[in-house]
Structure formats: structure tokens, C-alpha cells
Amino acid sequence: MGKLGIYTKRQPSAKFGRYLRQLREQRTELSQSETAKQLGITRQELNYYENGTRTPKDPLLLRLAHLYHVATAEIMEKAYWPQLVLLPLIAIINPEQLSKDYIDEIEKGLQEDERRKITKFIEDLIRQRVPV
């Protein structure tokens, strides 16, 4: 499997599930059953998504964004957050050489000072390679 292939499939996420439940509760007055009916899925399926045990496919994410009056970009960003962090790094590092613990930490996001340090480090590496 190539480096990119192992990071393109979204994993179920309790955090994303809570986000979906919060959208439904704050932006509609619909029950899970009513919401599921409007989406063309079962209540149980919606419950799986809201509990973070399953991940909705992209067409359903688009329908959820429409139903909850949320920008498509917002719901897609929330759904793909770990990959949005990891995919650009794949161009720089070989993720197969990182332990799962390190990848889990990267998925949580970086602090602003960590971003600055990484950016400076990359700039220094490139400066060493490319004559100015």
C-alpha cells in the first residue's frame, strides 16, 4: 500500500459524532428518527454516526450540511480533520516510520509555537540545500 493510501480513509470519530449530534440539536428541532427519514437512512444508522462508531460517506455529509444549514466546507473539514493534518506531511516525511502514538499526537493538531518551529526547521533545511 502506498504512503497516501493508508491515510485517505476516514476512521470513525467520537468527536465528529458529537459534532453531528450538536448540529442536529442546535440547528433543527428534529429527532433522530425525523432527521434519518429526511436523509433517507435509518434512525439506527444516524445513531451510529452521532455516536462516532461509523463514518458517513461524502454524499451523506453533503445532505447533512444542507439539512443543518452548515457550509459544506465546514462539515467536510470536520470530517476529514486528521487527514487534513497528515496528508501534507506525507510529502515531507515517511509516516510508516512514525509510531502510531506519534501519528495520534499529530492528528490532535499542533500548537502555534510548534507550527513556527516546524516551519523554521523546514526553511532551514531548504536553505541548506538550495544556494541563495
Quick: pLDDT tens for 7-56: 445 667 888 899 999 999 999 999 999 999 999 999 999 999 999 999 89
- CA–CA separation, 27 and 16 (whole Å): 16
What does pTM read for this prediction? 0.62
Examine residue 23 and state whether it is found in any structural domain, yes or no.
Answer: yes
Provide the residue range defining the domain that includes 56.
14-79
List the CATH number of the domain containing 67.
1.10.260.40
Output the CA–CA distances (angstroms, integers) from residue 81 to 33, 37, 121, in the order listed: 28, 28, 24
* CA gap 114, 126 in Å, rounded: 18
Q: Could you give the angle at which helices 81-90 and 100-107 cross, rounded to 10 degrees?
A: 120
Total domains in the chain come to: 2
- Residues contacting residue 72 through CB under 8 Å, at least 6 positions apart: 61, 62, 65
The answer to whether residues 30 and 74 belong to one domain is yes
User: Do 50 and 72 fall within a single domain?
Assistant: yes
Please report whether residue 2 resides in a domain.
no
